[in-house]
Amino acid sequence: MYLVRIGESKMEIPEELVVRDKRKISLSGNDAWFGFIVGILGLILGLYAIGRYCYDLSIQIPEREALRKEGRTITGTVSRISSTRRTGEYVEYSFLILGKTYIGKAHIADGNDDVERNKSIQIRYLPSDPNVNHPAAWEWSAVTGLNVVVFAVIFASIGAFALIFLNREKEILKRGDPVRGKVLRCEPRKSIFRVSYLFTTDEGIQIEGSSENYEQYERGDGIWVLYLPKNPKRNRSYPMLYFTACER
């Protein structure tokens, strides 16, 4: 099978690109594997954090409602104050009921900066289960912990974007038609090159495209291009940056 090279003689298509849809494709290079791993981890961690927040929410809401209706107040002692950049400040406390010590932990609400270690703190608890408790001075809110959700959404979005991008690149290599194009310009980008090229589809339509490539070209050089027949504007120079096709 042959395709016409712009301005030159016919050239044989690389063996690994001859049959469309049956190409053996694998990730190529450290950047591709890094993107794949980041995508998987970002998506998993992000979705886990969002799911955990929703799960905690489903438990916290009925507990807080029960505390408002049936809760009793007792004086406890602040045992520790901790903080992280993502989750904010938390107070840990303990209180005594019928000779048994119970402990609790709560996010410090805005306007309660007077909480100090070893000082007393009013606690509201459920008589039927003192393990369900919360500082009486402020109400728990579903907004608590939303900053963690924001980070989780960002992680999940980055992961999803990376996987979608790689899948779109893979689709071009798997289903794209090969054609010989002509290099218009080649610009260095750190360790790679941004190559712009012109090619003609099987329908005779000329399209200008560009993609990143490990190889350096000169203006007028020939270059293999893969494009999707139903959407020729989705095209890449070959060999591609993140995937490679193996010979059958």
The tens digit of pLDDT for each residue in 52-88 reads 888 888 888 888 889 989 999 999 999 988 877 666 7
What's the average model confidence in pLDDT over 200-218? 94
Specify the number of domains making up the chain. 2
Is the pLDDT at 3 greater than 50? The verdict is no
Q: Is residue 44 part of a domain?
A: no
User: What's residue 112's pLDDT?
Assistant: 63
42 located within any domain: no
CA-nearest of 225, 175, 239 to 6 is: 225
Residue 245 falls inside a structural domain: yes
Range of the domain at 98: 64-145
Task: Tell me the Ramachandran region of residue 155: left when phi exceeds 0, alpha when psi lies from -120 to 50, beta otherwise.
Answer: alpha
Residue 122 tokens read as: 């009013």
Concatenate the DSSP letters of all residues of 228-246 into one string. Answer: ETTEEEEEEEES-SSEEEE
3 located within any domain: yes
Residue 203 is classified by DSSP as: T
Kindly report the average pLDDT of the chain as a whole number.
87
Residue whose pair of structure tokens reads 């489903």 in the numeric block: 58
Within a domain: residue 79?
Answer: yes
Residue 78: give its domain's CATH number.
Answer: 2.40.50
pTM: 0.70
Is position 159 within any domain?
no
- Residue closest to 234 by CA, chosen among 142, 180, 165: 165
Cis peptide bond upstream of 239, omega within 30: yes
138 or 245: which leads in pLDDT: 245
| Per-residue pLDDT, 173 | 94
Instruction: Provide the pLDDT for residue 16.
Output: 85
Q: Please tell me whether residues 180 and 140 are part of one structural domain.
A: no
SS3 of residue 34 by DSSP: helix
Q: Does 118 map to a domain?
A: yes
Q: What is the DSSP letter of 248?
A: -
Q: Do residues 71 and 133 share a domain?
A: yes
Q: 42: pLDDT confidence band, cut at 50, 70 and 90? A: very high
Average confidence (pLDDT) over 201-213: 94
Distance CA 150, CA 232 (A): 37
Residue/partner pairs of 54-59 with CB below 8 Å, 24 or more apart = 56/145, 57/142
SS3 133: strand
pLDDT digit string, tens, across residues 165-194: 999 999 999 999 999 999 999 999 988 999
Q: Is position 158 within any domain?
A: no
Q: Does residue 201 sit in the same domain as residue 135?
A: no
